Amino acid sequence: MSTRTIKVDYLARVEGEGAMHVTVEDGRVSTCELRIFEPPRFFEAFLRGREYAEAPDITARICGICPIAYQMSAVHAMEDIFGVRVDGPLRALRRLIYCGEWIESHVLHVYMLHAPDFLGYESAIEMARDHPDLVRQGLRLKKIGNDLMTLVGGREIHPINVRVGGFYRLPRRRELETLRADLEWGVQAAEATVRWASGLDFPDFEQDYEFVALRHPHEYPFNEGRLVSSAGLDIPIEAFDAHFEEIHVPHSTSLHARLRARGNYFVGPLARYNLNFDRLSPRVQAAAREAGLAGGCRNPFQSIVVRALEVLHAYEEALAIIDTYVEPDAPVVDYQVRAGTGHGCTEAPRGICYHRYTVGADGLISDAVIVPPTSQNQPTIENDLRHFVERHLEEDDERLQWLCEQAIRNYDPCISCSCHFLDLTVERR
């Protein structure tokens, strides 16, 4: 019997600590694990006994790259409990800060984590020696996303301005106007990014995925919508628990999420894009057509193009919000604390981020459940690896290992997030 092991002990250019281990026996993959050894981080336990108002600040600390996703899911869940709706300009400002997070997170991934795989560099810094203009374009695109986070949120990592019912302080119209010229440049640069990314070489690889994302009646989804899937799921977010489950596997400090009825599913940019193409602006749709993806995209290696399309969307959306912004009278809407259980589900850059809290009449949290995007994608990533390795056994170990890493990076896994949560080994027997 011949055995071959392909492994990476510490995956690079992902957020957090993980490894990959694949064993091939007589030309078949026998085990395939995305090992997550990021230490357990117990956030749901820490939240018990804390006041509802602390949830956005505490849950932000789950992830330095997508803190807004946690803050938004938390505040929406609390507002669900208290029966309050945040509308008008306050709602628009929440979308604006989310645009900043999508831009900062997606551009980091497109240019600094994923692009070096396609161009054959170990890092963006090495890539910058041969492609200085490309890397500088990425850095500026990313910086503008961070500037947006900083202006609306106070700072780019763990913003301080988001609260249940709205914000602490409202940005002035003239402050938002200072971003206009950069955002206008960003729309052009994001279009150029789509064109550049669509010209890369992609391995031919598609699986039969079930995509899951939010869907809103009028908008490309950020904070609100029903949970829908490519297999016909269409439920309110309150029904998350009835349709999804989390299971605990030995090789991961991240829980794996599954659809109770059908198992693995896929969240993130590809899912949003395939389920909400009709909600994108004419300009983004035109860029998608030019990139050859108007009919949808099922190849996770092409996620770099879809992220670029979402960056374009976020830049356009941010400009539109600034154009129509009217300063509201108050930064926060009135609400009364009451006991109950509430749900929040928003579209983090990496996919849906679901929160459920139970709060007592005293405003204290008695129970918290948080399902981050990467724990939902983890079984799908393993399934991709298994099929990808079986189709590319002719490659030597070094090449196969790099391709496998790339297959994992397709999902922009955020491992810190998922620990409640990576390392790569392919073993050939």
Partner 1 sequence: MSNAHSRPKLAVWKFASCDGCQLSLLDCEDELLAVADAIEIANFPEASRAVVAGPYDLSLVEGSITTPHDAERIRDIRAQSKTLVTIGACATAGGIQALRNGADVEAFTRIVYAHPEYIATLSESSPIADHVAVDFELRGCPISKTQLVEVISAFLAGRRPVTPAHSVCVECKLRGTVCVMVAHGTPCLGPATHAGCGAICPAYDRGCYGCFGPMETPNAAALDARWGELGADRARRERVYRTFNAGAPAFRDAAARIAAAEDEKS
Residues in contact with partner 1 by the rule CB under 8 A: 10-17, 38-46, 48, 50-51, 54, 57-58, 61-65, 67, 104, 108, 112, 122-126, 128-129, 132, 135-136, 139-140, 142-143, 146, 154-158, 160-161, 163, 168-169, 247-250, 253, 255, 331, 405, 414, 416-417, 420
Helix or strand run (H / E) with residue 45: helix 43-47
SS3 357: strand
Smallest gap, in angstroms, from Cβ of residue 69 to partner 1?
12
The rounded distance, in Å, linking the Cα atoms of 361 and 368 is: 16
Smaller CB separation from partner 1, 163 or 429: 163
Smallest gap, in angstroms, from Cβ of residue 298 to partner 1?
27
Taking residue 390's Cβ as centre, other Cβ atoms within 10 Å add up to 14
Smaller CB separation from partner 1, 159 or 221: 159
Q: Estimate the crossing angle of helix 303-324 against helix 88-107, to 10 degrees.
A: 150
The rounded distance, in Å, linking the Cα atoms of 196 and 118 is: 11
Smaller CB separation from partner 1, 92 or 160: 160
The DSSP-derived string for 299-343 is -GGGHHHHHHHHHHHHHHHHHHHHHH----S-SB-------EEEE
The rounded distance, in Å, linking the Cα atoms of 14 and 405 is: 10
Smaller CB separation from partner 1, 64 or 340: 64
The rounded distance, in Å, linking the Cα atoms of 354 and 357 is: 10
Smallest gap, in angstroms, from Cβ of residue 191 to partner 1?
20
Smaller CB separation from partner 1, 352 or 417: 417
Smaller CB separation from partner 1, 135 or 308: 135
Smaller CB separation from partner 1, 85 or 248: 248
The rounded distance, in Å, linking the Cα atoms of 302 and 416 is: 24
Backbone angles phi, psi at 161, to 5 degrees: -100, -5
Smallest gap, in angstroms, from Cβ of residue 416 to partner 1?
5
Whether 305 and 197 have beta carbons less than 8 Å apart is answered as yes
Cα 361 to Cα 116, 244, 267: the distances in Å are 52, 29, 35
Smallest gap, in angstroms, from Cβ of residue 32 to partner 1?
18
Beta bridge partners of 346: 353
Among 144, 380, 423, 162, smallest CA distance to 263 is for 380
Q: What is the DSSP letter of 113?
A: I
The rounded distance, in Å, linking the Cα atoms of 17 and 38 is: 5
The rounded distance, in Å, linking the Cα atoms of 381 and 379 is: 5
Smaller CB separation from partner 1, 124 or 233: 124
Smallest gap, in angstroms, from Cβ of residue 279 to partner 1?
30
Half-sphere exposure of 396 (CA within 13 A, CB side): 1
Among 53, 41, 133, smallest CA distance to 418 is for 41
Smaller CB separation from partner 1, 281 or 366: 366
Smallest gap, in angstroms, from Cβ of residue 39 to partner 1?
4
Smaller CB separation from partner 1, 293 or 359: 359
Smallest gap, in angstroms, from Cβ of residue 167 to partner 1?
8
Smallest gap, in angstroms, from Cβ of residue 352 to partner 1?
19
Smallest gap, in angstroms, from Cβ of residue 154 to partner 1?
5
Smaller CB separation from partner 1, 168 or 234: 168
Taking residue 113's Cβ as centre, other Cβ atoms within 10 Å add up to 18
Smallest gap, in angstroms, from Cβ of residue 123 to partner 1?
3
Among 377, 346, 331, smallest CA distance to 70 is for 346
